Chain A
Amino acid sequence: QKEVEQNSGPLSVPEGAIASLNCTYSDRGSQSFFWYRQYSGKSPELIMSIYSNGDKEDGRFTAQLNKASQYVSLLIRDSQPSDSATYLCAVNGGGNNRLAFGKGNQVVVIP
Chain B
Amino acid sequence: GAVVSQHPSWVICKSGTSVKIECRSLDFQATTMFWYRQFPKQSLMLMATSNEGSKATYEQGVEKDKFLINHASLTLSTLTVTSAHPEDSSFYICSAPRGSYEQYFGPGTRLTVT
Interface residues of A (CB under 8 A from B): 31-32, 34, 36, 41-46, 49, 51, 88, 90, 92, 96-99, 101, 103-104
Contact = CB atoms under 8 A, between A and B. Distances in A.
A98 B34 contact: yes
Contacts of A88: 44
For chain B, the bracket of interface size reads 10 to 19
A40 to B, nearest CB: 9
Contacts of A103: 43
Contacts, number: 46
Nearest to B104: A46
Nearest to A104: B43
Given A31-B101, A90-B103, 10 more contacts: A36-B105, A42-B107, A43-B93, A44-B93, A46-B102, A46-B104, A46-B105, A97-B101, A97-B103, A98-B46
A41 B100 CA distance: 28
A31 B101 CA distance: 9
